[in-house]
Chains A and B, each alone.
Chain A
Amino acid sequence: MAEIKETNGIVDWLDERLAVRKLAKVLMTEYWIPKNINFLWAMGIVLMVTFMLLFVSGLMLLAYYKPDVALAFDSVNKTIMQDVGLGWLWRHMHAVGASLIFLVIYIHMFTAIYYGSYKKTREIIWITGMLLFVTFSAEAFSGYMLPWGQMSYWAATVITGLFENVPLVGEDLLVWLRGNFFVADATLTRFFMLHVVLLPISIMGIIALHFYSLRIPHVNNQEGEEIDFDEESKKFLDGNKKESKVIRFFPDFLSKDIFVLCIYLIFFFLLVGFSYNFAMDPINFEPANNLKTPAHIYPEWYFLWSYEILRGFFFDIPQGWWIGLDFLPKIPAMTIGLLAFGFANFIFFLLPFLDRSKVVAPAHKRGAFVVWFWLLLIDMIILTIWGKLPPEGINNVIGFIASMTFIGLFIALPIITIKERNKDKREAK
């Protein structure tokens, strides 16, 4: 039993019951952030706010949306867009937000790769971050289905269709997943359930875990310097704020974050109000029709790189030609593409363990790693561009080379970083 004393005001009253003062210290005023950072360190808050915008606009849309194949299209394109007060705003915010959140996630990811923020004691931050990327991808995919336009329908058909390639149970699995022999009402309602309940709840849980995993190792800094947070925070609390290498999360760090956030939000609402078309595919303004396929089916821009890896392998490979066993069946292009697709989506999780060097430093101070970093970024941009082009002629070859480069880069990473580690050891001696 705690000692009973006179309560002095509401904060005191809450403090006695919930220890709010201690909580505020742990989470905010004594949660230390290095001074040596730049605007790229604000992406976490930018993501958090974008997610909140998506959440609120999503609630508004949910108030009028109807998850039924006969009603869905009109509930979005007529009711919400034309009748509901500010309905257009919620929809544009939701569509633009979904696109931008991926842009910022990619920036956030590549910042972490560049500055080595996934290494040594920060592995869980990286892994929970990748879990968020995967859950957000599922959230975006399931949400794209809901307006029930032609692109919604055929994207759903193509992507759920991938499961048909699972060995042995593929066909049954596909029917089970769709709840019908083709994408139909049962498919829409179950993806609606995922999009508005299960996935957002999972995202919130993983975000909490992501923040928690930061608390012990702390945020990385521009030089990858190992900071003694106890010592530096003591300096700060003693009044040597100038000498200390750290600042408080709140209010110091957050005030700078809010500045970056404001600039971001100006762009966000400019896009929402005036340039939303990039997030609104014209093909999706035609109602879903299972008897009519659009000429080209492509995903939103943020999935294009992995989509291109999926279709980058366009020829069957004979299994046994190099050992003279011609009678073995060919491995179909689809199977190879699927394996590569699985590889591409999973391999980022292993990044902390594929990087064998102990050095935490920005890429430009890590020799060969900086080349690796830019090659990866350029390769993913090439994959993204070619992912939208029709799979014809030279495009197939470029897609294939870019896909192989992607896989090759991840095979090369341990080799490059082991060399870096050995060189480091020699210099230490």
Chain B
Amino acid sequence: MAIDETKRKVLGWSLGISALAGTLGGLGLGVKKSFDPLPSVLEAGVVSVDLSALTLNKPTTIQFRGKPIFIIKKDNMNFVNEKRDVKIGDYFYSIMIGSCTHLGCIPAWKQEKFVCACHGGQFDSSGINTFGPPPKPLVIPAFKIQNSNIVLGEVGPEYTKLVNS
């Protein structure tokens, strides 16, 4: 009499497939977790800046997530662009990532504007591209206002408003 092997095959395949799925799933989760940024990295990914200490009408550079962030505290309304600048207390503030939108070089502050040494791009004090190859204004990083501080790395309603304007 021939032995019916259907059950054995079902059992064999079930074992094989569940073992494979378990191993790959476990390994996947393990690798995912191990390669996640460390707690110290995540902590350094949120930076609080005290606005009262900033110099007026000159950019202050802060290193945040490996990139320079320019913050300019302004009291001269001629240099304020309401679509790009945020009002906190008595002053307007321009906040932007100091990385040229052309090819990522870092522009330098020269005579009331940012000038990029690599390909000659220029941005005004609110980060709007005014000359040369840059295709768009400097990027505004995510920020949140907390009392008289700006917290970089968290999203606040003022940031959402600027980005959507």
What residues on B are CB-neighbors of A184 within 8 Å?
41, 66
Contact assessment for A182 and B68 in the assembled complex, using a CB-CB cutoff below 8 Å: no
Q: Which of A32-40, A98-106, A286-294, A380-388 contacts B (4 or more CB under 8 A)?
A: A286-294
Contact partner, B67, options A179, A182, A190, A297, Cβ 8 Å: A182
- Contact partners of B41 in chain A: CB under 8 A: 179-181, 184, 186
The chain A residue sitting closest to B100, CB to CB, is A293
A175:B118 contact, CB within 8 angstroms: no
A293 touches B105 (CB 8 A): yes
A291 touches B37 (CB 8 A): no
15 residue pairs from A and B, CB less than 8 Å apart:
A176-B32, A176-B36, A176-B37, A177-B35, A179-B37, A179-B38, A180-B37, A181-B37, A181-B41, A182-B65, A182-B66, A184-B41, A186-B37, A190-B35, A290-B67
A-B pairs, top 5 by smallest CB distance, nearest first, are A182-B66, A181-B65, A290-B66, A293-B105, A293-B104
Verify if A188 is at the interface (C-beta below 8 Å from B). Answer: no
Q: Does B38 lie within 8 Å of A183, measured CB to CB?
A: no
Residues of B within 8 A of A295 (CB): 105, 118
Query: Contact between A291 and B106 (Cβ–Cβ < 8 Å)?
Result: yes
B104 touches A291 (CB 8 A): no
**Which residues of A come within 8 Å of B, CB atoms?**
175-177, 179-184, 186, 190, 290-293, 295, 297
**B106-A292 in contact (CB<8A):** yes
Q: Can you name the residue of chain B whose Cβ is closest to the Cβ of A181?
A: B65
B45 at the interface (CB under 8 A from A): yes
Interface contact A181-B45, CB-CB below 8 Å: yes
Chain A residues in 8 Å Cβ range of B118: 293, 295
Interface residue? B60 (CB, 8 A): no
Query: Interface residue tally of chain B, by bracket?
Result: 10 to 19
Query: In the bound complex, do residue B106 and residue A293 qualify as a contact, i.e. CB atoms below 8 Å apart?
Result: yes
Q: Which residues of B are found within 8 Å of A182, using beta-carbon distances?
A: 65-67
In angstroms, Cα B153 to Cα A181, docked, is 11
Shortest Cβ distance from B27 into chain A, in angstroms? 13
Chain B residues with a Cβ under 8 A of chain A: 32, 35-38, 41, 45, 63, 65-68, 103-106, 118
The CA-CA distance from A184 to B45 in the complex, in Å, is: 13
CA distance A420 to B88 in the complex (A): 74
Give A184's nearest chain B residue, CB to CB.
Answer: B66
Measured between beta carbons, the chain B residues less than 8 angstroms from A175 are 37
Give every chain B residue within 8 A of A297 (Cβ-Cβ).
103
Inter-chain CA distance A180–B67, complex, in Å, is: 12
User: In this complex, what residue of B is CB-closest to A295?
Assistant: B118
Contacts of A292 in B (CB 8 A): 106
B35–A176 touching, CB < 8 Å: yes
A295–B37 Cα gap in the complex (Å)?
30
Q: CB < 8 Å: which of A176, A177, A183, A190 contacts B66?
A: A183
For the complex, what is the distance from the CA of A191 to the CA of B15, rounded to whole Å? 35
A190: chain B residues at CB < 8 Å are 35
Residues of B within 8 Å of A179, CB to CB, are: 35-38, 41
Closest B residue, CB atoms, query A180:
B41
Instruction: Specify which chain B residues have a CB less than 8 angstroms from the CB of A290 in the assembled complex.
Output: 66-67
Q: Determine whether the beta carbon of A180 is less than 8 Å from that of B66.
A: yes
Which residues of B sit under 8 angstroms from A291, Cβ to Cβ? Answer: 63, 67-68, 106
By beta carbon, the residue of chain A nearest B64 is: A181
List 15 additional A-B contacts (Cβ < 8 Å) besides A180-B65, A181-B66, A182-B66.
Answer: A175-B37, A176-B32, A176-B35, A176-B37, A179-B35, A179-B38, A180-B41, A184-B41, A184-B66, A186-B41, A290-B66, A290-B67, A291-B68, A293-B103, A293-B118
Question: Shortest CB–CB separation between residue A329 and chain B, in angstroms?
Answer: 16
**B residues near A186, Cβ cutoff 8 Å:** 37-38, 41
For A297, give the chain B residue with the smallest CB separation: B103
- Provide the residues of chain A in CB contact with B106, threshold 8 Å: 291-293
Nearest CB in chain A: distance from B89 CB, A: 29
Write the chain A residue with the least CB distance to B67.
A182
Residue of A nearest to B105 (CB): A293
What CA separation (Å) do A186 and B44 show in the bound complex?
Answer: 14
Query: What is the minimal beta-carbon distance from A247 to any residue of chain B, in angstroms?
Result: 44
Q: Which residue of A lies closest to B63 (CB)?
A: A291
